[in-house]
Structure 1
Amino acid sequence: MTKYVLLGLNARGELQQFDLLALNEDEAQREAAQRARQADVQVVEVCAARAGKTGFSRQHMSFARMFRRARFDLSLFVYELLALLRAGLALTEALETLDERRRQNQPGAAEEKGHYVLSELIRLMQQGKSFSVSLAAHPDCFSALFVAMVAASEQTGGMTQALERYLQYDGQVSLVRQKIIAASLYPVMLLITGMVVAFFLLWFLAPRFGHVYEGMTHAELPLMSQWLISFGLFVSDHTLASLVCLTTTFAATVVLSMRPAVQQRCLVLLGRIAWIGAMLKLMQLARFYRSLGMLLQGGVALLPSLTMTRELLPLPLQAGLTRSMLSIAQGKKMSESLEHESLMTSVALRLLRAGERNGQIAGMLEQAAMFHEREITQWVDRFARLIEPVLMLIMGLGIGSIVVLLYLPIFDLAGSLQ
């Protein structure tokens, strides 16, 4: 018996996975069709699971996903598709136009499997699959939020409006993200520069001071100076190994920082700092409000929208959201359920209550997200202005300490001669 994996799309636009056992591929296809009818899902793909290679496959997928995301710009794709649809082209014709332009601009890119998915989207749609099902077959390129928006627009007939809403959503989220990246770029450069200068002092100056102090019998080196010079001599004698170790450490830090588990752990550690943890929670809630408002405005039902946005929250808040969904399913108001699980700020709570009274929940959630995003932007600006001088002070103290420890025996010798 061979293990197979069935990927199916349900009526709410969610991609589900089922495990199958079959003797061959034909039997797996029959079993998949039967399981799809039982679960009321539409078959997207049936493939064999590779036993014994899970670790390698996941690692390979993570690297492939990283490069694929770097090459596939979803916001640019949505913008170009929206422009063609506004011009009067049919959906398939618009995709074919984008694919032809890509082939002309990047000859030979069609052979690079997975780097671009337009050809695959066209093939799936020509087989009779809907646009949302075709998008769901490529979760590395198209987010679940975007697929759900498209699936809802296919039922209401508002494809262009859904694309416009997604572009607006992506623009607001990207604005906050770019602000955070721009604010953290200068401190990161300061840290890298400080590390390079410190390494140069240890590699170049410390060994030379060590050779000078070897001939000075009257000078007694302080303990810290002895350690520093010994470490500098070691680095100088093993320059290549030190550079390899430093480069490996830097590369490992970059790779680990891209892993979701490490990112979650870092967020948990930062969250324990009161003035940073409160702002991190506000960032997560603002993204949750904006994503939820976009889905609701696009025609997705409340509970499926909450399910799809649950992954945007940290694990403790995800558990609270699950309990809130149970309360909402039992008939409790959305504002009361979310407030009970600490998923509402005071501003968002008042706006959501007003939205429940006038039927504008989606608009009020977006207003709450916009309000908090402005607050986050101001906090990031203040934090950047504070952290930059603090980092410069730490760098100055570190480099100054190295220089003082190197020159301290000379100062002691000059004092003894006087």
Structure 2
Amino acid sequence: MSQTFAVRYLRLGDDQVSEERLQAETEAGLRQQLTAQGFTVLSVRGTTAPTFSRPRKPQRGRFALFCREVSTLIQAGMTVVEAVDTLSARERLAGQADSLAAQLLGELEQGTALSQALQRLPDAPAVLVAAVRAGERTSDLAQALADYLRFDTLVEQLRRKVVSAAIYPALVTALGVGISLFLLLVVMPNFARMYTNLRGGGASGATSWMIGLAQWVSANQAATLTAVALALLALAWWIWSGFARRHLLTLALQVPWVRVRVEDFQLAMLYQALALMLKGGYPMTEALQVASRSALDARLTVALQQALQRIEQGGAVAQALADARLCDEVGRRLMAAAERNGDFHLAADVVSRLHREHFELFVERLTRIVEPVLLMAVALMVGGIVVMMYLPVFDMATRLR
């Protein structure tokens, strides 16, 4: 089971210590992973998260908005400090004293670089920090921020597709379960009493089982309603705490063809981050280290470390990525062509687009399959209950004749 650790480490080429909270199964495993990525680990301290509190998520939206506004102000002729001061003044007048701009302004006024100031924020995306650092190297911060915004837009578009595809099935499932609970808790007990009084005997088959269940619910109504309420509260907490997303993702990854498509999503982010780093002037090894922090699962992280080791030993980039199963044959040939002409960032951008298209096609096809299947399942569930309710009515009508 993964734990949360507070880590202090030093990245190669930096003169500032980074502090961050990372997830890992063991402290030794986390130290080994960071060391393999070229970081100097200073301290690792386990933290205990509150059991009933929702894990804090990085607020990606505020960083994207900040980058968009700063880029606009820089293009209008302001310096970085003036742009951040302008945003801080506006937010201070709006009553937002603890805004992102206000947190950065104090350090910028002391001469700290924007990349270092961002790096000290606990939830700053690593790709953003690296992009800003690249912009400071090339003296084109506005372009670096624009490149990061394209990366952020790609990630948000893919996530939005997943959320949009999940909304309709969730509503259909909730509606079906709600109707079934209403029939079982309200309608069936009354129907069971009426049927018993009129017929004076028991039914047979599935109808007998449903009537017996309805009578038990009627006799234990308080306990049943309490159990249903507790189940709904547990379900709400499971979703709100974030465990639902992790558990469902773990379950989905057990299906091979789903795992391949999820890897397409992760590889799209990986190659887009790699294109951003390479365009900013990072060497391939350092770009891969930064890109590896773009939400990869355990298999892809290990595979990327293996590819990185081969590249550091002088191996070809395209072959190392292909042997680690981080790209298909088309991606391998694109990266091999980039090794000849030097346009690695263009090749990485194309590979990212290919994986993104594969994932989007998968989401679209899965949605078209799941929606009618769920509708049929809900219709069968509700319809089965209704049919079992009305079968005794037909039986009583036959006896009255």
Report the TM-score range of the alignment, normalised by the length of the smaller protein. Answer: 0.7 to 0.9
User: In structure 2, do the counterparts of structure 1 residues 75 and 58 end up closer, same or farther at CA, with 3 Å as the change threshold?
Assistant: farther
CA drift at 1:133: 1.1
What percent of counterpart residues are identical?
A: 27
Contact residue 289 and residue 366 of structure 1 kept, 8 A: yes
Q: 1:59 to 1:125 in 2, by over 3 A?
A: farther
Q: What residue identity is the alignment partner of 1:94?
A: A
Shift of 1:240: 5.1
Please name the residue that 1:24 is paired with: none
Give aligned pairs, total: 374
Instruction: Give 1:287's aligned residue.
Output: 269
TM-aligned CA deviation for residue 97 of structure 1: 0.5
Q: Aligned letter for 1:411?
A: F
Q: Take 2:185 and 2:258, find their aligned partners in 1: how far apart are those partners?
A: 37
Structure 1 residues 186 and 322, CA gap change in structure 2 (3 angstroms): same
Contact 2:19 2:122 in 1 (8 A): no
Structure 1 residue 376, shift from structure 2 partner: 2.3
Query: How big is the shift at 1:263?
Result: 4.2
Aligned partner of 1:341 in structure 2 is 324
Task: Work out whether 1:55 is the aligned partner of 2:48.
Answer: yes
**TM-score, normalization by structure 1:** 0.80
**Structure 2 residue aligned with 1:197:** 179
For 2:84, which of 91, 95, 103 is the aligned residue? 95
The answer to whether structure 1 residue 187 and structure 2 residue 173 are counterparts is no
Deviation by residue 1:18-51 (Cα, 9 ceiling, x = unmatched): 9xxxxxxxxxxxxxxxxxxxx999x9xx9xx8x9
Matches within 5 A, 1:15-414: 16-17=18-19, 54-56=47-49, 63=55, 65-66=56-57, 69=59, 73-105=62-94, 107=95, 109-110=96-97, 116-140=99-123, 142-215=124-197, 216-222=199-205, 223-230=208-215, 232-233=217-218, 236-238=221-223, 241-242=226-227, 244-256=229-241, 258-259=242-243, 263-311=245-293, 312-414=295-397
Which residue number in structure 2 is paired with residue 11 of structure 1?
13
Q: Aligned in 2, Cα 1:230/1:365: closer, same or farther, shift over 3 Å?
A: farther
The corresponding residue for 1:27 is none
Paired position in structure 1 for 2:31: none
Aligned AA for 1:283? F
Give the secondary-structure state (helix, strand or coil) at the position aligned to 2:111.
Answer: coil
Per-residue CA shift, 1:167-219, capped at 9, x if unaligned? 12222222222222222211111111112211211221011112213323234
Q: Which amino acid aligns with 2:135?
A: S
The answer for unaligned runs of 5 or more in structure 2 is 1-5, 21-37
Counterpart of 2:119, as a letter, is A
On the 8 A contact 1:13/1:132 being kept in 2, the answer is no
What is the Cα deviation at residue 152 of structure 1? 2.0
CA contact (8 A) 2:16 2:116 kept: no
CA contact (8 A) 1:14 1:148 kept: no
Evaluate the alpha carbon distance shift between residue 247 and residue 272 of structure 1 in structure 2; reply closer, same or farther with a 3 A threshold.
closer
Deviations 1:66-114 (A, max 9, x none): 4x728x5221111111000000101011001111111223x2x32xx5x
**CA deviation string 1:279-311 (max 9, x = no partner):** 122222222111111111122222222222224
Question: Is the CA contact (8 Å cut-off) linking 1:235 and 1:242 kept in structure 2?
Answer: no
Question: In structure 2, what residue type is equivalent to 1:228?
Answer: L
C-alpha distance in 2, partners of 1:329/1:359? 17
Judged with a 3 Å threshold, the aligned counterparts in structure 2 of structure 1 residues 9 and 119 are, in CA distance, closer, same or farther, namely farther
Does the aligned pair in 2 maintain the 1:296–1:362 contact within 8 Å? yes
Change (3 A) 1:319 1:97: same
State whether residues 239 and 245 of structure 2, in contact with CA within 8 Å, keep that contact through their aligned partners in structure 1: no
3-state SS of 2:264 partner: helix
Write the distance in 1 (CA, Å) between the matches of 2:75 and 2:155: 24
Deviation at 1:155, TM superposition (A): 1.9
Q: What secondary structure sits across from 1:73 in the alignment?
A: helix
Q: CA deviation at 1:340?
A: 0.9
- In the TM superposition, residue 242 of structure 1 has moved relative to its aligned partner by 4.2
SS at match of 1:247: helix
Instruction: Quote the residue 1:29 is aligned against.
Output: none
Gaps of 5+ in 1: 19-38
Moved more, 191-200 or 223-232: 223-232
